[in-house]
Chains A and B, each alone.
Chain A
Amino acid sequence: MLKLEKRPQPSRSWTYLTPLLAVVITMIVGGALFSLMGNNPVEVIRTIFWDPLFGEFAFYYRPQMLVKGAPLILIAIGLSLGFRAGIWNIGAEGQYIIGAITGAAVGLAFYPMESWIIFPLMVLAGALGGWAWAMIPAILKTRFGTNEILVSLMLVYVAEQLLAKMALGALKNPDGFGFPGSRNFQQYPSGHNAEIIAGSGMHWGVVAAFIAVIFAYVLLNRHILGYHIRLTGQAPRAARFAGVRPTRLILFCLGASGALAGLAGMFEVSGPAGQINIDFNVGYGFTAIIVAFLGRLHPVGILLAGLLMALTYIGGEIAQSNLGLPAAAIQMFQGMLLFFLLAVDLLTNYRIRLAKAEAA
């Protein structure tokens, strides 16, 4: 019989090992599932995890890692602050959409004027949009005690409807022959989030993601606010005793994660996506939840986890076109990863012992 025994304190080595273990288990179980679906598991795993980095077309895929990873990392960094404090913003997808809309709206308002000031204004508008959208659950929580999980999530569906409305209405390209979607920022230099070095995948969103990682690291490890965030998550009563004002913390955590998600949306719409359209959002806001946990809510961990998750997106696309693997398979694969991670997390806080069988 197996017995669980709480460790006197969390195991440091398992803290680092569990994400790796989860990835390995996911590969094995995922591979088994793929083989049930009639694929060669080794080939699928190689296609997803190896080819984008070291395969024949790696020169094309490697920059894609940054393009796909940046929004995931930006959003996940924001989410991790809240998650650490026990504040569950799971509506990042909505804040991402709103950030894209406000950012794009500001850019399009200036069209066709060309000025260096336009792009910074768009960045600001994107962050503000995401922030404002996240303030809705934040204020409802602080004023009325409303559950932020449900409110932030409901607002995703609202944001999706708004996105559709914008793509078909206010922001629709007047020269678009009636097709849905806004003007394309790739044809509007002042509003275009172009690659900083051509062919590197490095756009301003990537820069922002790296800055966010560093900022979060300093905040959590060196600043009293970060300490209060961690304290609130681990022992809310102790946090109040220490003088933390829960209201302020909720506003800060939700606001910060909303602003970062809004930024991510803005960089995406003005760069890789190019335009506001009905199918603009692809679930980065939800995948970022997995990234945050996989990265152990630690900034550096999130950086690595974001890149890994970007890899599965890219690898999934390759597997889709080369092996006919359905897109949903990769979605399930990502969900599975979070599952196994939560399961093996047990090893961090508990020891598993073989207890001798006891007479019942």
Chain B
Amino acid sequence: MDLSSINPTLLLASLLVAATPILIAAIGELVAERSGVLNLGVEGMMITGAICGFIIAVETGSPLLGFIAAAIGGALLSMLFALLTLFALANQVASGLALTLFGLGVSALMGQGYVGIKPPPTPKLDIPLLSDLPFFGPVLFSHDLMVYFGIALVAAVWAMLKYTRAGLILRAVGENHDAAHALGYKVVRVRLMAIGFGGACAGLGGAYISLVRVPQWTEGMTAGAGWIALALVVFASWKAGRVLLGAWLFGGITVLQLNLQAAGVAIPVEYLSMSPYLITILVLVIMSSDRSRAPASLGRIFHASG
């Protein structure tokens, strides 16, 4: 065992990278849930995004196009969920599960010919001067664009929910869809857009795993990241800012356990590997005492009568 092999600078730097996929997926799901939709299909949309992004990036050689394709792929898949829950009025829990099972199947099928290939590298955005700073440079200023995009996205969602009319309408729909309908707001349209946004974000998060974090394609490679993203929304009490906090916490635990594995700590690998999931459960338990912040219409089916 050699704990000195763990470099705190690299640890913190990789924390940001490890946090990015669940951060982006969670902020998308947060928007969907604030509109009153519980989409349990995050895992399915992430893995679909992962393979869509991977294929396009490999075929075109452009990671950027890959990320765009991943967002489209995730959003397309989420539209299936929207179709089921908003138009066929199906149970949201069951539909979300269906989405995950379907997404896992579709992605495995699409990824047939892509196992073992390396994707084109996503360039790091080495910010001149800043990235040369000791410690802060590598930790904060020499990541790829998506890391910053994720943080910016959280800020944008936070501002949107707090300050804009669109955000107000979104919250109103999630809080009481009957009242929103009575005031003439298009509940279904708002939710459709929120679900699509959630899907696109999940797709991006998935692609980040397959294009940057791993980077290669294996079946089921998201390994529960989508579910952790869902837990993160609960952890954050449906507040955008706290999603960032939660993602870094989980990112930190993931990176730390990987580092401990590499350092050959006496704890068996399997126990270290299960730690992020156990921590997720622990955090859920701690946070579940405060349920009051959940949008009041979350998970309820809306059908305008009359």
**Which residues in A have some Cβ–Cβ distance to B below 8 Å?**
4, 6, 88, 90, 136, 140, 144-147, 149-151, 153-158, 161-162, 164-165, 169, 286, 289-290, 293, 326-336, 338-339, 342-346, 349-350
Shortest C-beta distance, B147 to chain A (Å), equals 25
Closest to B43 in A: A153
A-B contact pairs, 21 of them (CB 8 A): A6-B303, A6-B305, A140-B281, A150-B284, A151-B281, A154-B280, A161-B273, A165-B271, A290-B98, A293-B94, A326-B108, A326-B112, A327-B108, A328-B105, A329-B105, A332-B102, A334-B105, A342-B90, A343-B90, A344-B88, A346-B89
The one of A161, A162, A164, A338 that contacts B101, using a Cβ cutoff of 8 Å: A338
A339 and B224 contact, CB distance less than 8 A:
no
Closest to A169 in B: B268
6 A-B pairs with least C-beta separation: A332-B105, A335-B102, A328-B108, A331-B105, A342-B90, A165-B270
Main secondary structure of the interface of A (DSSP, over half): helix
Shortest C-beta distance, A19 to chain B (Å), equals 14
B274 and A350 contact, CB distance less than 8 A:
no
B83 and A154 contact, CB distance less than 8 A:
no
Closest to A150 in B: B231
Shortest C-beta distance, B81 to chain A (Å), equals 9
Interface band, chain B:
35 or more
Which of chain B's residues have a CB closer than 8 A to the CB of A6?
303, 305
The one of A90, A329, A342 that contacts B84, using a Cβ cutoff of 8 Å: A342
Q: Within residues 245 to 289 of chain B, which ones have a CB less than 8 A from any CB in chain A? A: 268, 270-271, 273-274, 277-278, 280-281, 284-285, 288-289
Shortest C-beta distance, B261 to chain A (Å), equals 12
Once the chains are docked, how many angstroms separate the CA of A350 from the CA of B89?
9
B93 and A157 contact, CB distance less than 8 A:
no
Contact A331-B89, Cβ < 8 Å, known A144-B288, A149-B40, A151-B281: no
The one of B106, B268, B289 that contacts A332, using a Cβ cutoff of 8 Å: B106
Q: Count chain B CB atoms within 10 A of each CB in A146, A326, A327 and give the residue with the most.
A: A146
A165 and B106 contact, CB distance less than 8 A:
no
B108 and A342 contact, CB distance less than 8 A:
no
Shortest C-beta distance, A10 to chain B (Å), equals 13
A144 and B84 contact, CB distance less than 8 A:
no
Q: Count chain B CB atoms within 10 A of each CB in A90, A153, A350 and give the residue with the most.
A: A153
B95 at the interface (CB under 8 A from A): yes
B234 at the interface (CB under 8 A from A): yes
**Which residues in B have some Cβ–Cβ distance to A below 8 Å?**
40, 80, 83-84, 88-91, 93-95, 97-98, 101-109, 111-112, 219, 223-224, 227, 230-231, 234, 268, 270-271, 273-274, 277-278, 280-281, 284-285, 288-289, 291, 303, 305
Once the chains are docked, how many angstroms separate the CA of A342 from the CA of B274?
33
Shortest C-beta distance, B45 to chain A (Å), equals 13
Closest to B291 in A: A145
Once the chains are docked, how many angstroms separate the CA of A142 from the CA of B108?
37
Shortest C-beta distance, A78 to chain B (Å), equals 16
Once the chains are docked, how many angstroms separate the CA of A161 from the CA of B261?
14
B223 and A157 contact, CB distance less than 8 A:
yes
Closest to B111 in A: A328
- Name 19 extra pairs, CB < 8 A, besides A88-B93, A150-B227, A162-B274: A6-B303, A140-B284, A140-B288, A146-B281, A150-B231, A151-B281, A155-B277, A165-B270, A165-B271, A293-B94, A330-B105, A334-B105, A335-B98, A335-B101, A335-B104, A335-B105, A342-B84, A343-B84, A343-B90
Which of chain B's residues have a CB closer than 8 A to the CB of A156?
224
Closest to B113 in A: A326
Shortest C-beta distance, B72 to chain A (Å), equals 19
Shortest C-beta distance, B7 to chain A (Å), equals 26
The one of B94, B103, B105, B274 that contacts A157, using a Cβ cutoff of 8 Å: B274
Once the chains are docked, how many angstroms separate the CA of A145 from the CA of B291?
9
Shortest C-beta distance, A284 to chain B (Å), equals 13
Shortest C-beta distance, B148 to chain A (Å), equals 29
B101 and A289 contact, CB distance less than 8 A:
yes
Which of chain B's residues have a CB closer than 8 A to the CB of A342?
84, 88, 90-91, 94-95, 98
Shortest C-beta distance, A312 to chain B (Å), equals 12
Shortest C-beta distance, B267 to chain A (Å), equals 11
Which of chain B's residues have a CB closer than 8 A to the CB of A334?
101, 105
Closest to A330 in B: B105
A158 and B274 contact, CB distance less than 8 A:
yes
The one of B80, B101, B107, B280 that contacts A150, using a Cβ cutoff of 8 Å: B280
A146 and B94 contact, CB distance less than 8 A:
no
Which of chain B's residues have a CB closer than 8 A to the CB of A157?
223-224, 274, 277
Which of chain A's residues have a CB closer than 8 A to the CB of B111?
328
Once the chains are docked, how many angstroms separate the CA of A153 from the CA of B108?
20
Closest to A347 in B: B88
Closest to B98 in A: A338
Contact A346-B104, Cβ < 8 Å, known A155-B281, A335-B98: no
A326 and B106 contact, CB distance less than 8 A:
no
Closest to A327 in B: B108
Contact A331-B108, Cβ < 8 Å, known A164-B270, A346-B90, A350-B89: yes
Which of chain A's residues have a CB closer than 8 A to the CB of B88?
342-346
Once the chains are docked, how many angstroms separate the CA of A178 from the CA of B276?
29
Once the chains are docked, how many angstroms separate the CA of A90 from the CA of B43?
14
Shortest C-beta distance, A80 to chain B (Å), equals 12
Which of chain A's residues have a CB closer than 8 A to the CB of B219?
328
Closest to B234 in A: A147
Contact A153-B270, Cβ < 8 Å, known A338-B98, A339-B84, A349-B89: no
Which of chain A's residues have a CB closer than 8 A to the CB of B230?
150
A154 and B227 contact, CB distance less than 8 A:
yes
Once the chains are docked, how many angstroms separate the CA of A88 from the CA of B40?
12
A328 and B98 contact, CB distance less than 8 A:
no
A144 and B285 contact, CB distance less than 8 A:
yes
A4 and B303 contact, CB distance less than 8 A:
yes
A161 and B289 contact, CB distance less than 8 A:
no
Shortest C-beta distance, A155 to chain B (Å), equals 7
Once the chains are docked, how many angstroms separate the CA of A151 from the CA of B227?
10
Closest to A88 in B: B93
Closest to B223 in A: A157
